């Protein structure tokens, strides 16, 4: 099986439970979630729609082929992916707290011009801190504002627009997007220009470390306030002492 079509093989698998645990995260009747083989963030998963009638491999080749087919069916596929992504994001947030002591943002979206066959939704934490993040095209493909990474909520919003807008957005021509991968490097968060990938990666790590410090401090302050409240005595049931009556005057 070619590396370009390996995701299609997973989506066609009749018994997903037989996939190796290093690959498979979870599956349902409609979707299959796998660990990204080359994660670009601390947390990075792919959600694939399973190939089952009435869906076929050609329709699910990528986002463009899906959106050029039956519109109602395409929307339902995206909603199924969204539901699965919500479950995965909840699990990621729990793991963030357990492992790192705080939570940070998670992105969900598609590459406008994917390098692999079969539709797949990326779910990744926004740190972009990974040893696998090696090249400019890797980084720019996930930059949240550049345009190559299509956020799931934006794609779903196309269905609510005028037919002409939907038609224009769903063309997804490679020539309209692939030049974005060659754009100059800049931090997606502070928009500072970066000369090369090593400098960018060091900067992203510093950004994440600083966010981690702030969020952990914020959580520590909250715990301190909560602890203080828990030891404050409840005064509501304590009655004020009766005022003393003056002693009668003896004549």
Alpha-carbon gap, residue 230 to 214, rounded angstroms: 24
Give domain status of residue 230, yes or no: no
Count of domains observed in the chain? 1
What's the CATH code of the domain at 56?
A: 3.30.428.10
Q: Are 171 and 64 in contact (CB under 8 A)?
A: yes
Chain centroid to CA 221: 27
Q: What is the pLDDT of residues 44-67, one digit of tens each?
A: 999 999 999 999 999 999 999 999
The 10s digit of each residue's pLDDT in 32-42 is 999 999 999 99
d(CA 33, CA 241): 66
Phi and psi at 235, nearest 5°, equal: -95, 0
**15 falls within a domain:** yes
User: How far is 41 from 149, CA to CA, in rounded Å?
Assistant: 15
- Residue 20 — pLDDT band, cuts 50, 70, 90? very high
Domain range for residue 35?
6-183
pTM, two decimal places = 0.88
Alpha-carbon distance of 132 to 44, in angstroms, equals 11
Task: Identify whether 73 is part of a domain.
Answer: yes
């Amino acid at each position: 099986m070619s590396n370009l079509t390996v995701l299609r093989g997973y989506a066609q698998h009749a018994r997903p439970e037989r996939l190796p645990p290093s690959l498979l995260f979870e599956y349902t009747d409609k979707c299959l979630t796998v660990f990204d083989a080359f994660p670009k963030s601390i947390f990075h998963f792919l959600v694939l729609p399973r190939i089952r009638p009435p869906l076929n491999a050609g329709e699910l080749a990528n986002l463009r082929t899906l959106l050029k087919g039956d519109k109602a069916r395409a929307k339902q596929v995206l909603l199924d992916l969204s539901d699965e992504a919500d479950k995965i994001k909840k699990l990621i947030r729990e793991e963030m707290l357990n492992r790192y002591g705080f939570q940070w943002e998670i992105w969900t979206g598609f590459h406008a011009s994917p390098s692999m066959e079969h539709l797949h939704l990326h779910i990744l934490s926004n740190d972009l801190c990974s040893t696998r993040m090696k090249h400019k095209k890797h980084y720019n493909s996930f930059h949240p504002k550049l345009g190559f990474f299509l956020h799931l909520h934006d794609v779903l919003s196309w269905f609510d627009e005028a037919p002409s807008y939907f038609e224009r957005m769903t063309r997804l021509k490679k020539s309209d997007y692939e030049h974005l991968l060659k754009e100059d490097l800049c931090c997606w968060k502070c928009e500072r220009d970066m000369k090369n990938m090593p400098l960018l990666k060091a900067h992203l790590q510093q950004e994440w470390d600083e966010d981690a410090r702030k969020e952990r401090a914020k959580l520590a302050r909250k715990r301190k306030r909560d602890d203080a409240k828990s030891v404050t005595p409840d005064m509501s049931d304590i009655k004020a002492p009766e005022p003393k009556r003056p002693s009668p005057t003896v004549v």
